[in-house]
Amino acid sequence: MNEYFVGIDVSKDRLDVAVLPDGGRWSVGNNEEGVHSLVERLKGLGPALIVLEATGGLEILATASISSTGLPVAVVNPRQARDFAKATGKLAKTDAIDAALLALFAQRIRPEPRQIKTPDQQELSALLARRSQLITMLVAEKNRFSSAPGGIRPDIKEHIVWIEKRIKLGVGNLEKLVKKSPVWREKDALPRSVPGVGPVLSLNLLGGLPELGNLDRKKIAALVGVAPLNCDSGKIRGKRFVWGGRADIRTKLYMGTVVAIRFNPVIEVFYQRLIAAGKKPKVAITACMRKLLTILNAMIKNSTSWNPEMSSTT
């Protein structure tokens, strides 16, 4: 019996679909009607794996609809898919070709299906992303204000006040969204019990890392991008490095770790031990990020609050 692998190339208005090994190809609109017909056809096919590229949110409707049926779906980094295409010698690029390459990627590489965000998690992620955008705008306007001529300062100041109000409103919306769900309230409260983990990191973990607590320590570290990767060849033993992962989560985790190194006894002792062993500060901080993430992963998995004794052995 054949195993079917499906690749879906996503654009704003259309979804191009390719199936291996039978070579079937078709396209549907990237809208509710088109996605519904796609899902019905995929349910009849029963594929072993469906692969789409992350496309700035354009893939969300199709991914969520397919995932809700229980079909295995993986959303992969476009760079990873393009590198695979180059490795196979496929340099031409059209929507149909990309769909076929994604189907081949699914068949040969078989990326692991990931947990798909619920609609509430998607809303939370959107609110968090908007908050980050507003903060970036606020910093830029404050920088402009300091060197702006007197004639335009009132206009910049007015915009600064507006942005600050929007940020405050956004924080209120985030809190309301979390309070609606008892499960979310617990998942938000557990990380916040850890010294160094504040509301920004906790909410970003809630909205941007739904896998937290559902994967083992190695997989969650690799998913975020704080797992050390080897760089060895022959007798050469290169430096370990971290790469890839979810940059937004890693940035927030870095800031939380810097605070934890000062105020969290477990992370502080771990950091000082690494420095005493000759590790460079950046390497030590990355290791602390991985340890903090591992602690949070275990806490969410076991529904337990912060315990320094338990955490020191994690």
Q: Which of 108, 130, 156 is the last residue of a domain?
A: 108
Q: Which of 108, 137, 168 is the last residue of a domain?
A: 108
Assess whether 84 and 151 both reside in one domain. no
Residue 199 scores a pLDDT above 70:
yes
**Residue 188 domain-assigned (yes or no):** no
**How many residues in the chain?**
314
Q: Taking a C-beta distance cutoff of 8 angstroms, is the pair 6, 18 a contact? A: yes
Assess whether 236 and 267 both reside in one domain. yes
**Residue 186 domain-assigned (yes or no):** no
Assess whether 234 and 165 both reside in one domain. no
**Residue 175 domain-assigned (yes or no):** yes
Assess whether 93 and 17 both reside in one domain. yes
Cα separation values, 121 from 44, 128, 259, 268, Å: 29, 10, 26, 32
Q: Which domain holds residue 296?
A: 199-311
Residues 6+ apart with CB under 8 A from 65: 35, 36, 38, 39
What is the band of 266 on the pLDDT scale with cuts at 50, 70, 90? very high
Angle 13-18-22 from CA coordinates, rounded to 5°: 155
**Residue 187 domain-assigned (yes or no):** no
Residue 219 scores a pLDDT above 60:
yes
pLDDT of residue 168: 94
Q: Taking a C-beta distance cutoff of 8 angstroms, is the pair 39, 66 a contact? A: yes
Assess whether 125 and 97 both reside in one domain. no
What is the band of 244 on the pLDDT scale with cuts at 50, 70, 90? low
Assess whether 307 and 263 both reside in one domain. yes
Assess whether 168 and 212 both reside in one domain. no
Q: Around Cβ 42, how many Cβ atoms within 10 Å?
A: 21
DSSP states along 118-146: PHHHHHHHHHHHHHHHHHHHHHHHHHHHH
- Which CATH number do you get for residue 73? 3.30.420.40
**Based on the structure, what is the number of domains in the chain?**
3
Mean pLDDT of 233-259: 78
Residue 83 scores a pLDDT above 60:
yes
Assess whether 103 and 45 both reside in one domain. yes
Cα separation values, 243 from 23, 81, 274, Å: 35, 16, 21
pLDDT of residue 210: 86
Q: Which of 108, 139, 172 is the last residue of a domain?
A: 108
Mean pLDDT of 272-287: 95
Assess whether 124 and 226 both reside in one domain. no
What is the band of 135 on the pLDDT scale with cuts at 50, 70, 90? very high
Buried b / exposed e along 238-275 (16+ C-beta atoms within 10 A): eeeebeebbebbbebbbebbeebbeebebbbebbeebe
Mean pLDDT of 170-196: 89
Assess whether 71 and 129 both reside in one domain. no
**Residue 193 domain-assigned (yes or no):** no
Assess whether 279 and 203 both reside in one domain. yes
